[in-house]
Amino acid sequence: MLTARRTAAASVLALLALLAPAPSAVADGPGGSVQCPPKELDCDLTAVDPGTAPGTPVDSKPAKPGKGGRGSSAPECAIDGKAVPCSSDMGTFNHADACYWRALDPQPGPEDPLWTFATGVPATWKPGAPGKLYNVTCPGAGRELAGGTMFSASAPAAAPTIDPEVVARQAVESMRLTGPVIANPRAEGTYVVGMPFWMWATPSPTTYGPVTASATAGGVTVSATAKVTWAVWDMGDGETVTCPGPGTKYTADHGKNMSPDCGHRYRRSSTDEPDSRYAGSTTTTWSVDWTVTAGGAQTGTLTTTRETAWTARVGEVQVLNTN
C-alpha cells in the first residue's frame, strides 16, 4: 500500500513540476518592487508613494499648486493584474508564484509521510533542520493543481505595510482638483483707486468641493472627501486678503459698500506695473478628511493647495476742471 501511495505521489509531483514557476520571479511597478527566489517566502517588498523614488519619504507638506494627477501605482499584491489581499485565511501572499502560503500547525512529526510527499523537500534535509511544511493555495482559473503541501526553508514574509495617507493622496489625485475659476476681477475690466474692489470665484466641486473619491492599494481602501477651507488672494500690490469662501458676487444694489467676505481697496494705480496691470493670484487651501474603509480603521486629515493667476487694471478717477 505504501508503494502504491508513493507511486501516486510521484505522479502528482511530476504534474506539479510542470506547473512550477520559473527559477526566479521579479515584479516591478511604479508602486514598489518585489524579488523572490523560487519557493522562498522571505521576499523584499518596497511600497512607495506614486511618483516617488524608493527610499524617498512621503512629503507631508501641501502639494504644489496646479499639479495634475497621475495614475495609481501597481497593486502590491495582485493576480493577473487584479489587487488581492496580501494576507487572508489562506495565508500570506507570495509574489514568486502568486499563491498563499500557510504553515501547517502543528507541523507533522518527523516520521509523518507528508515529509516524503511534500513538494520541495531537499534530499539532504533531516528532521530538526530549518524548514516547514506549508499548505499552498493558488487562486485563479486553471491554477487549482498549482498548490498543495510544500516545503520552504524560510518563514513567510509579513504582509507589506501600506501607509493609508499615501492611498489617500492617490484618491486626491483622482479628484482632479483645480485652481479657482476667477469671476472678478475681469481681464477686460478697469477698476478705480480707492473704490471697493470685490473678488469672487465661480465654485464647483473640483474648484471648491466638496468632492469624494476612493483609492485602493495592497488591500487597503481609503475614502477621502476634500473641500476648500480658505482662499488667499495676492492682490499684486504687496497686500493679501484671506477669504473663507469663493466670495460674494457684486450687484448694483450693493452700491459703494465693501464686500462682506472678500474685498480690497487699491491705494494706487497699476500704471507703473508691467502691462499697466497688477499681477495677482488666488491660492485655495483644501482640507481632505480620509477614512480607511477596508484593510484597517485609521482616519486622518491632509491638506493640498491649488492656484490661479489673474491680472487687474486699476486707474485714477480723472476730475475735470470746469473753471
Domain extents in the chain: 2-152, 164-315
| Strands (DSSP E) found in the chain | 25-29, 32-36, 44-47, 78-79, 82-83, 87-88, 91-94, 99-103, 132-137, 148-152, 181-184, 190-192, 197-198, 200-202, 211-217, 220-234, 240-243, 263-264, 278-294, 299-315
pLDDT at 169 over 80: yes
The letter for the amino acid at 18 is L
SS3 100: strand
Q: Are 107 and 204 in contact (CB under 8 A)?
A: no
Q: Are 115 and 123 in contact (CB under 8 A)?
A: no
Go through 19-33 and write b for each residue having 16 or more CB atoms within 10 A of its CB, e for each that does not.
eeeeeebebeeebbb
Average pLDDT over residues 110-121: 90
223-251 pLDDT, tens digit per residue, is 999 999 999 999 999 999 999 999 999 99
Among 246, 279, 282, 258, residue whose Cα is nearest residue 194? 258
pLDDT at 32 over 50: no
249-302 pLDDT, tens digit per residue, is 999 999 999 999 999 999 999 999 999 999 999 999 999 999 999 877 899 999
d(CA 167, CA 252): 48
pLDDT attached to residue 302: 97
SS3 274: helix
Average pLDDT over residues 38-64: 33
Question: Could you tell me how far CA 251 lies from the centroid of its own chain?
Answer: 43
pLDDT at 63 over 50: no
d(CA 230, CA 244): 5
Average pLDDT over residues 2-25: 38
